[in-house]
Structure 1
């Protein structure tokens, strides 16, 4: 009777088992079509779904099966193997950053192969813009939730203090200092924390299905994520917004779709399944959330322009004395 081996999600080799036992595990949901299997006479481990006929499986394979997985090269026979017995090839390994969990909240199939640079889907301009719109809305809410009580406190304090010029000036400087600290500090801490977390993405990026990684696919640390936002802020402030426009053009036309702050900090914005054990799950083009955000943003822009034109027309029709 032919004996089979299979690899679990921790890449441990289990077996030998008869074909009937492999079929039972499949029907019980303990293994799936992407689970790697091997038997004597096979050159390399193969996804279970490709061996359905031989194993007698009558169910259709789950959609996680990736038939594009290239066959592994036949390894040399292990030293000390008994004569006439074929050595069991090692179970193919996934990248270190994928094996450690990859993108939080997603389970990776065991049969995925190592990702080449050519297989990485980089986030384009519009997905990144939609993520920025969402993140700007989120950080704006957080900032104003802190600033509004601060404004009330400083307003009441200034009205109750002695009406000395130095006191009012001191309170004004103190309020402006806290105002700028919150306005710039909240987004900086938000992006640094989110991009260095297990999700590798801010809430806006998670919504559009992208994440931030190092140039080699490794996760980004807190310090690098903070430096990335500071670099973006510096470009935006000291160029009066021109740096943001230049960064957008670079995302649209560079090969790896890197902005200026990405190049400086050696980071990439890629699809959430990039550099994981499921590269076949990556999506090119625009996702549904991106399209919805862009449509709503466009409508708001059109309404704003119409309102501005109407206001200017109303002012011009008024008679001034």
Structure 2
């Protein structure tokens, strides 16, 4: 369970239940501080949410600065193979719009023309150059559709493409928060590199296998993570009662 803390008209977090119990016991947060978690109707004092936790001493001082990150709790990053599985699902989904674009923009006819050129003795390199020139617009449109698919889904309330959602993952910033569209677009701009070379996306994804937080090159550039757990299970997509910067006691 992840809990938000309200203090001085602002909300902080979310933090893990274990962190809050530790901070209550040490006096780092006050039992009078307000808390909220997904499914709770309204803010409640931490003393109500965690009645069994008592400060180590009755006069334990309240430390003014509330921890701003959840650094003490390791983030549950998704593995390379799980992310690969999600990529395959998304690839299969994108096959339909890609095929429709290709057909509507004459790719099948271009391929037939390519084969007839080869059969008639035209040099394969020349025939391939003609074919590539004809299908390039369809390829660019398909690439744009893929870019928008990833960029919009990963900054949506689900924080995940259908593939990631199916396998129980979400995309976040380094603090575990939902991405804005600009960061999501930056993260997925690497997909546009397919228009230049197939090597860059390959290297980008291979780094997921050996980096400490399973980050691809696109994750590192945009400062994002792919974490286990759907956004609907974490409390991130729906804000606590009150506005995004304040809470209502």
Q: TM-score range by the shorter chain?
A: 0.5 to 0.7
Change (3 A) 1:108 1:240: farther
Instruction: State the distance in 2 between where 1:277 and 1:195 align.
Output: 16
- The answer to whether the 8 A contact 1:154-1:175 is kept is no
Matches for 1:206-225 after TM superposition, within 5 Å: 206-225=165-184
Pair 1:124 & 2:79 matched: yes
Query: Of the two, which has the highest radius of gyration?
Result: 1
Task: Give the TM-score normalised by the residue count of structure 1.
Answer: 0.45
Shift of residue 93 of structure 1? 4.7
Instruction: State the distance in 1 between where 2:203 and 2:107 align.
Output: 39
Structure 1: tracts of 5 or more residues without a match: 1-8, 13-65, 77-86, 100-106, 156-171, 279-321
Answer 1 or 2: higher relative contact order, Cα 8 Å, separation at least 6. Answer: 2
Instruction: State the distance in 2 between where 1:128 and 1:214 align.
Output: 17
Aligned position for 1:81: none
1:198 to 131, 136, 157: 157
Q: Per the alignment, in what secondary structure is the counterpart of residue 158 of structure 2?
A: coil
Aligned position for 2:33: 90
Aligned position for 2:239: none
Pair 1:142 & 2:97 matched: yes
Matches for 1:307-318 after TM superposition, within 5 Å: none
Q: Per the alignment, in what secondary structure is the counterpart of residue 120 of structure 1?
A: coil
1:268 to 225, 240, 243: 225
| Equivalenced residues, count | 179
Aligned position for 1:179: 138
Shift of residue 10 of structure 1? 10
Aligned position for 2:55: none
Matches for 1:1-321 after TM superposition, within 5 Å: 70=21, 72-73=23-24, 89-93=32-36, 107=39, 116-117=70-71, 118-151=73-106, 176-234=135-193, 240-241=198-199, 243-273=200-230, 276-277=234-235
- The answer to whether the 8 A contact 2:147-2:191 is kept is no
Instruction: State the distance in 1 between where 2:143 and 2:206 align.
Output: 24
Q: Per the alignment, in what secondary structure is the counterpart of residue 220 of structure 1?
A: coil
Instruction: State the distance in 1 between where 2:136 and 2:198 align.
Output: 21
Change (3 A) 1:183 1:257: same
Instruction: State the distance in 1 between where 2:40 and 2:161 align.
Output: 21
Change (3 A) 1:10 1:121: closer
Instruction: State the distance in 2 between where 1:194 and 1:209 align.
Output: 14
Instruction: State the distance in 1 between where 2:182 and 2:164 align.
Output: 19
